[in-house]
């Protein structure tokens, strides 16, 4: 079988979502590192996807973008040892719903706060209103997740799924900018994620790049 090629970066949250899925499946892939020192990978990415967002997966003549779709492909091509999206339609809907919640209401809200840090570093006006709204949204989704996760091992139950692939990087970076220490179920779930070998491997892969984080990575968060 053709080795999948993944255009990504180890410190990118959405790249980590794809990495976690590949590690869970133990499927080898070729990383095309998107770094200024590797302009060829950037040129290839631009030819595949003009918006330049990543990760992007290439398998032969097939190109797929968006981390969720990359995981969907992986689950179809390599259903063993365990599916990341259940075969049962109702269970699959729950997994996909939590995937969107972590991407849209945790990851994207975290990014609003990070974008303000970038504006500040570039001496541009901060979006104070946007950040207040983002932090309020995070507080709401943290509270909701804390209730939903009570009694669960993983996001939707006993099985590690696409939803957890999305949760790990979104909560990792969100905790850096808007901690959830006051949500015990969410905090316990996050600890389980960090102890998962696939997640730990993705986090450690990004460690050398932490100086990239706008404003610096917090000393008291790992």
Give pLDDT tens digits for 147-188.
999 999 999 999 999 999 999 999 999 999 999 999 999 999
Which pLDDT score, from 0 to 100, does residue 91 have?
A: 98
Which pLDDT score, from 0 to 100, does residue 220 have?
A: 83
Contact 6, 29 (CB under 8 A): yes
> Quick one: tokens of 7?
């255009």
> Quick one: tokens of 27?
């499927």
Q: What is the 3-state secondary structure (H, E, C) of 120-174?
A: HHCCCCCCHHHHHHHHHHHHHHHHHHHHHCCCCCECCECCCCHHHHHHHHHHHHH
For residues 143 and 68, give the distance between their C-alpha atoms in angstroms, rounded to a whole number.
Answer: 24
For residues 149 and 124, give the distance between their C-alpha atoms in angstroms, rounded to a whole number.
Answer: 39
Contact 76, 137 (CB under 8 A): no
Contact 70, 103 (CB under 8 A): no
Instruction: Say what the pTM is.
Output: 0.96
For residues 127 and 63, give the distance between their C-alpha atoms in angstroms, rounded to a whole number.
Answer: 36
For residues 214 and 177, give the distance between their C-alpha atoms in angstroms, rounded to a whole number.
Answer: 10
Average pLDDT by consecutive 10-residue portion of the chain (222 residues)? Answer: 93 98 97 96 96 96 97 96 95 98 98 94 92 98 98 98 98 97 97 98 96 89 80
Which pLDDT score, from 0 to 100, does residue 200 have?
A: 97
Which pLDDT score, from 0 to 100, does residue 85 have?
A: 98
For residues 202 and 166, give the distance between their C-alpha atoms in angstroms, rounded to a whole number.
Answer: 12
């Amino acid at each position: 079988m053709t080795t999948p090629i993944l255009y990504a970066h180890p410190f990118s949250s959405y790249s980590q979502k794809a990495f976690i899925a590949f590690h869970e499946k133990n499927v080898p892939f070729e990383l095309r590192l998107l770094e200024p020192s590797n302009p060829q990978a950037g040129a290839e990415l631009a030819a595949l996807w003009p918006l330049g967002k990543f990760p992007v997966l290439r398998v032969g003549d097939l190109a797929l973008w968006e981390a969720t779709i990359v995981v969907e492909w992986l689950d179809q091509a390599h259903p063993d040892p365990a599916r990341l999206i259940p075969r049962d339609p109702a269970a699959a809907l729950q997994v996909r719903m939590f995937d969107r919640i972590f991407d849209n209401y945790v990851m994207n809200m975290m990014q609003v706060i990070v974008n303000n840090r970038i504006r500040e570093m570039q001496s541009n006006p901060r979006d104070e209103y946007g950040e207040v709204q983002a932090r309020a949204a995070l507080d709401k989704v943290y509270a909701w997740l804390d209730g939903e996760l009570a009694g669960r091992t993983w996001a939707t139950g006993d099985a590690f799924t696409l939803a957890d692939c999305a949760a790990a990087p979104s909560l990792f970076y969100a905790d850096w900018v808007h901690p959830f220490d006051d949500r015990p179920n969410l905090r316990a779930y996050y600890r389980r994620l960090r102890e998962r070998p696939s997640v730990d491997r993705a986090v450690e892969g990004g460690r050398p790049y932490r100086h990239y984080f706008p404003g610096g990575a917090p000393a008291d968060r790992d």
